[in-house]
Amino acid sequence: MIENLLLCVGAQKSGTTWLHAQLKDHPQIGFSNVKEIHYFNTIHKGSVLLARRKVNRLEKIIKNNRMGLERYFANLSAGKPVNKGLQQLLSPVDDPWYIDQFPKKNRKYCADFTPEYALLPDAGFENIKRVAKNRKVIFIMRDPIDRAKSAMRYFYETQGKTINDIGHEQILKLATSDFIIHMSSYDITIKRLDKHFAQDDVLYLFYEDVMKDKQTGINQVTDFLNIIAIQNSAEQLEKRVNVTSFYDFSEQVDEILKSRLQKTYEFLGSRFKVLPEPWPRAFDRTLEQAV
């Protein structure tokens, strides 16, 4: 069992990769070899992202290091020590496999930054509690409409395309998809976090506030985790990651997103009272449409 597990459960396109880059060298945090393990969403939501990564890696090994793979199976059959990396790649994906993803060095936290955990069902969060004695959860929220638009741009870029080359009807269809809407529906995530974790074990951050004062955002995280404060360089703080290309979305897309995310804005306005400066304008516009 993991003693202390740190999870950053999203939201996708809300600065999770940036935060990972700021904390990856912290002496008290042990990250897995990859930022996003995708374990719990594989087990409880049938995600193929982990399987796809395993297949891609195995294909490279077969192409570039076939002898190493043959030696692994020969040693396995003979009961001899085997390559640790190949063992993790080829072992069944279960709770012991997940626990083994983290370094065994003396670190206060094992850390898994997988935004897709934001939409885990109850069983997924219960599974998290089974593998870790203590849990701390970070959830970063970006203006729901801005996040959805960024995710739409990113969706096509992951396929080697650019949204500027996609037809309007396809973009409208993507804007209405649960894939885009649910990741911006922070009310769903917050209600589940309330159900499964103590209030003191969850840190809610706003992307816009963190980006406005990055060092303060990092300080909030280290205070929350009760770990050594770090002072990153200006170059490190301003390093941009996962930047998507600009696209001027149509008013029709805006109207779709406003309509689908209206309840989310209402929930957040009630829950947090004060939202980042850019948010209230979007929140007010959404409410005006509901009148």
pLDDT at 212: 93
pLDDT at 280: 59
The SS3 call for residue 13 is: coil
Residue 139, strand partner residues: 204
| Cα separations in angstroms, 96 against 58, 148, 225, 249, 267 | 21, 35, 25, 45, 38
User: Is residue 207's pLDDT more than 80?
Assistant: yes
pLDDT of 121 > 80? The answer is: yes
- The pLDDT value recorded for residue 282 is 54
247 contacts: CB under 8 Å, gap ≥ 6: 149, 153, 163, 164
In a domain, 42, yes or no: no
pLDDT value, residue 256: 92
Domain containing 236 equals 2-37+101-290
For residue 285, name the pLDDT band (cuts at 50, 70, 90). very low
**At 17, phi and psi to the nearest 5?**
-70, -40
Q: How confident is the model at residue 289 (pLDDT cuts 50, 70, 90)?
A: very low
Instruction: Assess whether 151 and 20 both reside in one domain.
Output: yes
pLDDT in tens, 34-65: 889 999 999 999 888 888 888 887 888 887 87
Reduced to 3 DSSP states, what percent helix, strand and coil does the chain have, rounded to the nearest 5?
A: 60, 10, 30
> How many independent structural domains does the chain possess?
2
Own/partner pairs, 217-224, CB within 8 angstroms, 24+ separation: 217/19, 218/19, 218/22, 218/23, 221/19, 221/23, 221/138, 222/26, 224/136, 224/138
Verify cis geometry, omega within 30 degrees of 0, for the bond prior to 229: no
- In this structure, is residue 237 part of a structural domain? yes
Q: What single DSSP character describes residue 26?
A: -
Question: What are the structure tokens assigned to 39, written together?
Answer: 């374990």
The bridge status of strand 109-113 relative to strand 202-206 is unpaired
Tell whether 193 and 281 lie within a shared domain. yes
DSSP letters spanning 227-241: -------HHHHT---
**pLDDT tier, 193 (very low <50, low <70, confident <90, very high otherwise):** very high
Q: Say whether pLDDT at 156 is over 60.
A: yes
Once rounded to an integer, what is the mean pLDDT over residues 108-125? 96
Q: What is the pLDDT of residues 267-284, one digit of tens each?
A: 998 999 888 987 855 555
Token readout for 135 is 């849990």
Report if residue 260 sits inside a domain: yes
pLDDT tens-digit readout, 69-85:
778 778 778 887 777 77
- Per-residue pLDDT at 291: 32
Q: Are 4 and 136 in contact (CB under 8 A)?
A: yes
Asked whether residue 86 falls in the same domain as residue 143, the answer is no
Best CA proximity match to 207, nearest among 34, 26, 28, 8: 8
* Region of residue 205 (left: phi > 0; alpha: psi -120 to 50; beta: else): beta
> Which residue, 269, 3, 272, 267, is CA-closest to 132?
3
Across the chain, mean pLDDT equals 88
For 173-184, the pLDDT digits (tens) are 999 999 899 999
Q: Would the pLDDT of 117 be above 80?
A: yes
Provide the β-strand partners of residue 140: 205
Q: How far apart are CA 190 and CA 103, in angstroms?
A: 30
Asked if residue 43 is part of any domain, the answer here is: no
53 and 174 inside one domain: no
Residue partners of 45: CB distance under 8 A and separation at least 6: 116, 119, 120, 121, 124
Domain match, 200 and 112 both: yes
Residue 261 placed within a domain: yes
Is the pTM value of this prediction over 0.95?
Answer: no
Residue 215: what pLDDT?
Answer: 95
Q: Is residue 148 part of a domain?
A: yes
Q: What is the mean pLDDT of residues 88-93?
A: 80
| 109 and 83 share one domain | no
How many angstroms separate the CA atoms of 56 and 87, rounded? Answer: 16
